[in-house]
Every structure is written in structure tokens, then in C-alpha cells.
Amino acid sequence: MRIISSTEEMQAACRELRRQQMPAGLVPTMGALHEGHLSLVRMARSQARTVAVSIFVNPLQFGPAEDYGRYPRTFASDCRMLEAEGVDIVFAPSVEEMYPPDACTYVFVEGMSDRLCGRSRPGHFRGVTTVVAKLFNIVLPGLAFFGQKDAAQVAVLRRMARDLNFDLSVIVGPTVREADGLALSSRNQYLDAQQRKSAAFLYRALSVIEKLAKEGESDTQRLIEAGKQVLAGVPADGAAVTLDYLEIADPETLKEVTNLQSDPNRGAMAAIAAYVGSTRLIDNVVLRPAVAD
Ligand code: PAF
């Protein structure tokens, strides 16, 4: 497994792969790898002859009061895991390599970057789209793999790839969960035992919404209320869950959906973000409304 930190060297290696008609499958990550990332790596392995994984904690997508400084950095063990998965190239640039001091160009997906997480994390999606556009230009992948857990990120990146004519397909892998439903996230390691128990309520709330939608409830306000009631059931002696948002949105445009039946051809997802202690967690489920007989 090659580990490359220079953008020039990475671009030269990947240009050669493209020239040989076997562009890399790219899995962009910020490291602190878990089974969710590894499931994407396995997908990439099965669909691309060469697999590249980027590890870069991107300062541009963190707000000033967020966890950039304490975000877990576990490079050596990440590399051991990736080597065991048969990854060909790890791209791990420094911040200076990715953002020379005079860099002043950003990619911004207008009208989508301020929805869901973008509303409570101003600048977050601009940071994500800027770094991913750079990674696409450096790695020139044929396929790029992202997790469904970050559904809003997926929507924004798909739109960016389409609007800017990147010559690649965005592939989305399913959310990997713990036994109690908690979506795997590098941030789960911030949780203490009590917070870890409360964190499972996010998926419980989403599951209730999913079940009610399947049973025929199509009014999204009622679905959201049902989800909020689940969150209100966090035991009083447990760690509090503070809701940032619980919304039902179109997974492509991220616009709010008011009724699941109003346009049955369009999809809908229930998306949640909540703080457990000071840790912000996100999750979502795709809703499939009841089908009339
Ligand atoms: O999903 C992530 O880990 C990051 O947002 C990404 C796509 C690697 C960009 O920094």
C-alpha cells in the first residue's frame, strides 16, 4: 500500500491510472476509521480495480467553536486497517499541502448548503464541497464512495458533481449501525457510558417515524411529533439529548416535505441532528410511504 502526502505525486499516480483506463475508486475520509468506512472500502474494492482512500481532517468544514482540534487522529491504526482491506493508495496530505496560505477559491452549492446541517453549521458544506472538489481533481476517480449516514452531504456532493461535470459516479453505501441502532460515527468515541445509552434514542425516534410512515401516516408534522415524543422518553437520570433538528426532507433537494403522498414519485427521508452532551450526532432513514392496494 502506497502512502502519499504530496498532491503532485498523488495526481501523477492517479493520472497514470486514468490513462490506463482504470481510474481509482475513491473513499474520502477524515480518518478515525470504523466499520462504516471499511464497508465503503469493501464496496470500492468490489467495483474498482484500484482503491484510494484519503485521510484528511479538513479544517475548512469545522466551525470556530467545533471539534477540529480534538477530532480523533489515529493515522497508524487507520493505515493498518486499510492495508488489511487491500487498499492500494492512502492519500494523506497536510493542511498546508491542501491549502497553501494564499488559497482563496471555494466551491459552494447555492441553495442547498444552508439546509439541514448547513443551517446549524454555517460554512460546513462549503468546506466539504471545496475539499471534495479538490480531491476529485487530484485523484480523478471513476467512482467516489460516501456513506448514507451523511445524507445531506451526499445530496450536496451529487449536485456539485453534476453541476461541475466531474467525470465520475457518486456511490452511496448503507449506514452501518451498532446492535442498538446507533449509527457508527468517529464522534461516538466522545460519548461516556451514559451518553452512549441516550445516543440510541436518535435511531429509535427515526425508527418510529419510519414505521408510522409505512403504516400510512403521511402528514410529516405528525411524524415529526411522534419522533420528538420518543426523544422526550430519554430517562430523567440519563444524559440529555438536545435536538438540533428533526426534519423530513427530499433527499435530492433537501427541501422540507410536508406530506409523503403529495408527490409519491419523490423520495423523503427523516433526518435528525442532536447533541448528546457536547457531541453532535446525526442520522437519517429513508421513508417509504404505504403503497395503496
Ligand atoms: O464525510 C466525511 O468524512 C467528510 O465530510 C469528507 C467527505 C471526507 C470531506 O472532508
Q: How far apart are CA 61 and CA 71, in angstroms?
A: 12
Q: Whose CA is nearest to atom 1 of ligand 1?
A: 29
Q: Can you list the pairs that 73-76 forms with residues at least 24 positions away whose Cβ atoms lie under 8 Å?
A: 73/31, 73/32, 74/31, 74/32, 74/33, 75/31
For the stretch 184-232, pLDDT in tens is: 999 999 999 999 999 999 999 999 999 999 999 999 999 999 999 999 9
Residue 124 among the catalytic residues: no
For the stretch 266-292, pLDDT in tens is: 889 999 999 999 999 999 999 987 665
C-alpha of 69 from chain center: 20
pLDDT at 166 over 60: yes
* Cα distances (Å, whole numbers) of residue 276 to 239, 250, 273: 7, 26, 10
Q: How far apart are CA 253 and CA 271, in angstroms?
A: 13
- Span 118-143, average pLDDT: 98
> Grid coordinates representing 222?
405528525
Label residue 150 by pLDDT band (50, 70, 90): very high
Q: What pTM, to 2 d.p., does this model score?
A: 0.97
Ligand 1 pocket, 29 CB below 6 A?
A: yes
- Work out the angle at residue 48's Cα, subtended by the Cα atoms of residues 46 and 51, and round it to the nearest 5 degrees: 100
Q: What is the rounded radius of gyration, in angstroms, for the C-alpha atoms of the chain? A: 19
Q: How far apart are CA 227 and CA 272, in angstroms?
A: 10
> Please, are residues 58 and 105 in contact by the beta-carbon 8 Å criterion?
no
Ligand 1 pocket, 132 CB below 6 A?
A: yes
> Of these residues, 27, 32, 36, 37, which one is catalytic?
37
Element (H, E) at 40: helix 35-47
Give the number of other CB atoms < 10 A from CB of residue 256. 13
CA 128 to centroid of ligand 1, rounded, Å? 6
For the stretch 3-45, pLDDT in tens is: 999 999 999 999 999 999 999 999 999 999 999 999 999 999 9
Ligand 1 pocket, 220 CB below 6 A?
A: no
Q: How far apart are CA 256 and CA 265, in angstroms?
A: 15
Ligand 1 pocket, 141 CB below 6 A?
A: no
**Ligand 1 atom showing the smallest separation from residue 57 Cα:** 10
Give me the DSSP letters along 176-244: PB-TTSPBP-GGGGG--HHHHHHHHHHHHHHHHHHHHHHHT--BHHHHHHHHHHHHHTS-TTS--EEEE
Q: Determine the residue of 139, 150, 157, 283 to mutate for testing ligand 1's pocket, defined as the one with the most ligand atoms within 8 A of the Cβ atom.
A: 150
